């Protein structure tokens, strides 16, 4: 197996073997205040927000203002070079960053000479080389250098391939290395952060998940099919070594980079935590296609949603007892089983025991069939797309729309592929898997939550699982708990004009997953009495006496229903133990 240092020199990726050159590069970035806050100070909030939508004009206008007012500095030069990916004058860069060695940056694979351009007031550069005429050339970046500020306070520079926004007019290379995006940020926000010995990042890309794991895991193995991706990851590790607490000369002490597909590089290993943003994009297969024709960062080369199914079905083999796995995924929604609640409420969730699915549940049944018997599962569907919308999204993602004939042919292939499997839509969501540490029925939960909620949700899901563990241990004694309603939870009642009683009672969360739960009047009465003074048992007994339920109240039809709903409310954080 290749060592981590083997990825220090890979064609088409930044070099990470020259530690002194990377240290000097980092010092330039630091001295110029090329940070997330620094960029925001130089461009302004609205320009930064526009950049997140791939709109450069506000940022360019802000940089023009710095030029005209004489406040153009090193941060401005770095923004134009590495964020906007525009050619910049060597003369102008050297004026504001006199300490830089552009030839060294070229050797690292970060910039290249821009041919056919000239500095202001000078003749066009003929040789295009910096080494021969460093005072008259223009230079441009060959990597995207993004700024990552995490919720934990971690701040990093993350190198990846230039985006279609940065290099318009050309389709992405098939071995493209994706930078920081919405999916990688989402996965970081849904991943729980326990202190563990060993973690696994499958399909690391440029290393975003790996960087987060290093904050709370003693050793991390990061895998990828792409050699270029592992080279970018290694460069990013060396560049950010101080922030990540790494010794760049001994990365292997805490990190192992392994090349290979999915679980192949870690066969026989065991981990306490697994995260993966796999190449889950459903892509039509074509006869005789080769690996080089696929977009490695998103296309795993298997038909339909088979890659995710295979990965989920094998994850238990690399998970220790008690281990948790988090992943993002797509799944196909059968045309005949498209029955979604769509409210985001508890009533729209499906709870199962055992390993299999239940008939008639559409996507829930499909995903449930993938999950190994040994694992608990919690799956949240966040959105669905029609076959047409899905095809458009991913064809544009790779800039394939630039060639009309090719685009229409590929679009048609998507639709024919989905039609061949009777697919009505494609779902996207989060999957949390856990290997329980004791013998009990496996938990299965599938729900659709399409409304906005408050990230990061990792603490919320972890607390929900912990509360469920406590309830399982308590058994019937859980009704001895004294409960309260958290401050962020509110009640909403809807009445017809003139009606004495509400027709709908809603309980809403103002934090976390921000669920809305429809309550029965009995459960609303139970929740209203949860102020920590009485136990759940005492509240139900009092309600039963007041409303004339059969005694004992906890064994009545009404009492059992209220208790069951209250148990779910406690699990989901609408109620909490009174500490």
E strands, 161-270, in order: 196-202, 217-224, 255-259
Q: How far apart are CA 438 and CA 475, in angstroms?
A: 15
Q: How far apart are CA 372 and CA 312, in angstroms?
A: 8
Q: Is residue 562 part of a domain?
A: yes
| Beta strands 155-160; 144-149: pairing state | antiparallel
479 and 439 in a common domain = no
Q: Is residue 170 part of a domain?
A: no
Which of 49-63, 251-265, 402-416 shows the lowest per-residue confidence on average (mean pLDDT)? 402-416
Work out the pLDDT band at 130, boundaries 50, 70, 90: very low
Q: Give me the number of domains the chain comprises.
A: 3
Q: Which of 467, 502, 519 is the last residue of a domain?
A: 467
Residue 500 CB contacts under 8 Å (≥ 6 apart), including other chains: none
480 and 438 in a common domain = no
552 and 424 in a common domain = no
200 and 320 in a common domain = yes
- Cα separation values, 327 from 73, 200, 209, Å: 41, 12, 11
Which of 99-103, 122-126, 335-339, 559-563 shows the lowest per-residue confidence on average (mean pLDDT)? 122-126
Cβ atoms of residues 417 and 284 within 8 Å:
yes
Does the pLDDT at position 403 exceed 80? Answer: no
Cβ atoms of residues 557 and 547 within 8 Å:
no
CATH number for the domain harbouring residue 566: 3.90.930
Does the pLDDT at position 361 exceed 90? Answer: no
Q: Is residue 172 part of a domain?
A: no
Q: Is residue 409 part of a domain?
A: yes
| Beta strands 443-448; 423-434: pairing state | unpaired
The per-residue b/e assignment along 239-259, b for 16 or more CB within 10 angstroms, e otherwise, is bbbebbebebeebeebbbbbb
Sign of the dihedral through C-alpha 467, 468, 474, 479: positive
CATH number for the domain harbouring residue 292: 3.40.50.150
**pTM for this structure?**
0.90
Q: Is residue 27 part of a domain?
A: no
- Cα separation values, 469 from 243, 352, 463, 466, Å: 36, 16, 10, 5
Q: Is residue 174 part of a domain?
A: no
Q: How far apart are CA 45 and CA 58, in angstroms?
A: 10
- Cα separation values, 196 from 16, 211, 215, 217, 411, Å: 28, 15, 10, 5, 45
What is the per-residue pLDDT for 116?
Answer: 54
For the chain, what percent of residues have pLDDT higher than 90? 80
491 and 405 in a common domain = no
What is the per-residue pLDDT for 349?
Answer: 55
Work out the pLDDT band at 132, boundaries 50, 70, 90: very low
What is the per-residue pLDDT for 350?
Answer: 54
What is the per-residue pLDDT for 507?
Answer: 97
400 and 341 in a common domain = yes
Tokens linked to 527: 């929740």
- The CA radius of gyration of the chain, in Å to the nearest whole number, is 27
What is the per-residue pLDDT for 511?
Answer: 95
Q: How far apart are CA 381 and CA 363, in angstroms?
A: 9
Average pLDDT over residues 424-435: 97
**Could you give the count of Cα atoms lying within 13 Å of 22 in the half-sphere of its Cβ?**
22
Average pLDDT over residues 527-535: 96
Q: Is residue 155 part of a domain?
A: no
Residue 351 CB contacts under 8 Å (≥ 6 apart), including other chains: 443, 444, 445
Does the pLDDT at position 341 exceed 70? Answer: no
Q: Residue 40 sits in which domain range?
A: 32-142
Q: Check residues 169 and 287 and name the one with the higher pLDDT.
A: 287
Mean of the per-residue pLDDT values of the chain: 90
206 and 115 in a common domain = no
Average pLDDT over residues 315-322: 97
Q: Name the burial class of residue 331, with classes exposed (0-12), middle (13-18) and buried (19+) by CB atoms within 10 angstroms of its CB.
A: buried
Angle at 56 between CA 54 and CA 59, to 5 degrees: 130
What is the per-residue pLDDT for 164?
Answer: 86
What is the per-residue pLDDT for 119?
Answer: 44
Angle at 167 between CA 165 and CA 171, to 5 degrees: 90
Neighbours of 445 (CB within 10 A): 19
- Map tokens 């709109």 to a residue: 55
What is the per-residue pLDDT for 134?
Answer: 44
Average pLDDT over residues 233-255: 97
131-135-141-142 Cα dihedral, nearest 10 degrees: -20
Q: Which of 115, 142, 169 is the last residue of a domain?
A: 142
Neighbours of 46 (CB within 10 A): 11
E strands, 11-91, in order: 88-89
Cβ atoms of residues 375 and 433 within 8 Å:
yes
Neighbours of 418 (CB within 10 A): 23
What is the per-residue pLDDT for 568?
Answer: 96
Cβ atoms of residues 265 and 313 within 8 Å:
no
364-375 pLDDT tens trace: 999 999 999 999
Tokens linked to 437: 């540490």
Residue 474 CB contacts under 8 Å (≥ 6 apart), including other chains: 480, 481
Average pLDDT over residues 66-87: 96
175-190 pLDDT tens trace: 999 999 999 999 999 9
What is the per-residue pLDDT for 168?
Answer: 82
What is the per-residue pLDDT for 346?
Answer: 38
Which of 74, 92, 85, 97 is closest to 136 using CA atoms?
Answer: 92
Q: Check residues 52 and 128 and name the one with the higher pLDDT.
A: 52
264-308 pLDDT tens trace: 999 999 999 999 999 999 999 988 888 888 888 899 999 999 999
Task: Name residue 256's beta-bridge partners.
Answer: 221
Work out the pLDDT band at 18, boundaries 50, 70, 90: very high
476 and 462 in a common domain = no
Question: By three-state DSSP, how is residue 154 classified?
Answer: coil
361 and 271 in a common domain = yes
462-512 pLDDT tens trace: 999 999 999 999 999 999 999 999 999 999 999 999 898 899 999 999 999
Q: How far apart are CA 159 and CA 177, in angstroms?
A: 9
Which of 218, 99, 51, 83 is closest to 158 using CA atoms?
Answer: 83
403 and 289 in a common domain = yes
Q: Check residues 46 and 165 and name the one with the higher pLDDT.
A: 46
Average pLDDT over residues 72-100: 94
Tokens linked to 66: 């710095």
Q: Is residue 7 part of a domain?
A: no
Average pLDDT over residues 371-397: 95
What is the per-residue pLDDT for 370?
Answer: 97
- Whether omega for the bond prior to residue 552 falls within 30 degrees of 0, making it cis, is yes
Question: By three-state DSSP, how is residue 452 classified?
Answer: coil
Task: Give the ranges where 86-181 is alpha helix by DSSP (H).
Answer: 90-96, 102-108
Average pLDDT over residues 218-229: 97
Sign of the dihedral through C-alpha 396, 400, 401, 407: negative
- Cα separation values, 189 from 53, 151, 209, 319, Å: 21, 8, 10, 21
487 and 345 in a common domain = no
Question: By three-state DSSP, how is residue 16 classified?
Answer: coil
What is the per-residue pLDDT for 290?
Answer: 84
196 and 97 in a common domain = no
Q: Which of 111, 142, 173 is the last residue of a domain?
A: 142
Q: How far apart are CA 83 and CA 141, in angstroms?
A: 9
């Amino acid at each position: 197996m290749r060592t981590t240092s083997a990825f220090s020199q890979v064609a088409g990726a930044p070099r990470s073997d020259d530690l002194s050159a990377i240290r000097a590069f980092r010092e330039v970035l630091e001295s110029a205040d090329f940070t997330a806050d620094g960029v925001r100070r130089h461009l302004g909030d609205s320009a930064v927000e526009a950049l997140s939508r791939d709109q450069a004009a506000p940022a360019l206008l802000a940089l023009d203002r710095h030029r005209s007012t004489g406040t153009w500095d090193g941060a401005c030069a770095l923004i134009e070079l590495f964020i906007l990916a525009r050619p910049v004058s060597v003369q102008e860069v050297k004026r504001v960053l006199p300490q830089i060695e552009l030839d060294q940056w070229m050797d690292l694979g970060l910039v290249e000479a821009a041919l056919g351009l000239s500095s202001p007031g000078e003749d066009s550069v003929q040789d295009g080389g910096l080494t021969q005429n460093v005072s008259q050339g223009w230079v441009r970046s060959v990597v995207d250098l993004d700024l990552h500020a995490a919720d934990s306070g971690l701040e990093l520079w993350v190198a990846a391939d230039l985006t279609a926004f940065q290099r318009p007019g050309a389709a992405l290379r098939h071995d493209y290395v994706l930078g920081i995006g919405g999916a990688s940020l989402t996965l970081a926000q849904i991943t729980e952060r326990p202190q563990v010995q060993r973690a696994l990042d499958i399909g690391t890309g440029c290393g975003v998940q790996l960087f987060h794991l290093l904050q709370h895991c003693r050793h991390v193995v990061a895998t990828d099919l792409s050699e270029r991706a592992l080279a970018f990851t290694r460069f990013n590790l060396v560049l950010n070594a101080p922030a990540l607490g790494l010794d760049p000369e001994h990365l292997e002490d805490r990190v192992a980079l392994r090349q290979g597909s999915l679980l192949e590089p870690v066969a026989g290993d065991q981990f306490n935590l697994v995260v993966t943003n796999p190449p889950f994009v459903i892509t039509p297969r074509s006869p005789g296609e080769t690996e080089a024709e696929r977009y490695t960062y998103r296309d795993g080369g298997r038909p339909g949603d088979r890659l995710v199914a295979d990965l989920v079905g094998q994850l238990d083999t690399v998970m220790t007892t008690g281990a948790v796995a988090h992943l993002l995924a797509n799944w196909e929604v059968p045309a005949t089983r498209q029955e979604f609640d769509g409210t985001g409420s508890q009533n729209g969730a499906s709870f199962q025991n055992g390993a299999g699915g239940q008939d008639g549940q559409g996507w829930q049944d499909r995903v449930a069939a993938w999950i190994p018997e040994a694992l608990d599962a919690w799956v949240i569907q966040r959105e669905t797309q029609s076959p047409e919308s899905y095809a458009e999204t991913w064809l544009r993602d790779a800039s394939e729309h630039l060639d009309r004939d090719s685009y229409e042919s590929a679009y048609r292939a998507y639709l024919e592929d989905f039609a061949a499997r009777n697919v009505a839509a494609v779902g996207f969501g989060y999957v949390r898997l856990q290997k329980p540490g004791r013998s009990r029925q496996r938990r299965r939960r599938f729900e659709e939550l399409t409304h906005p909620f408050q990230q990061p949700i990792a603490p919320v899901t972890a607390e929900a699982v912990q509360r469920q563990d406590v309830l399982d241990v308590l058994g019937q004694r859980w009704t001895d708990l004294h409960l309260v309603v958290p401050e962020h939870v509110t009640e909403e009642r809807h009445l017809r004009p003139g009606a004495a009683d509400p027709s709908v009672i809603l309980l809403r969360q103002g934090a976390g997953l921000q669920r809305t739960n429809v309550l029965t009047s009995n459960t609303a009465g139970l929740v209203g009495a949860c102020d920590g003074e009485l136990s759940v048992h005492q509240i139900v007994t009092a309600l039963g006496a007041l409303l004339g339920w059969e005694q004992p109240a906890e064994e009545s039809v009404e009492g059992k229903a209220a208790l069951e709903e209250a148990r779910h409310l406690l699990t989901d954080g609408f109620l909490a133990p009174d500490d």
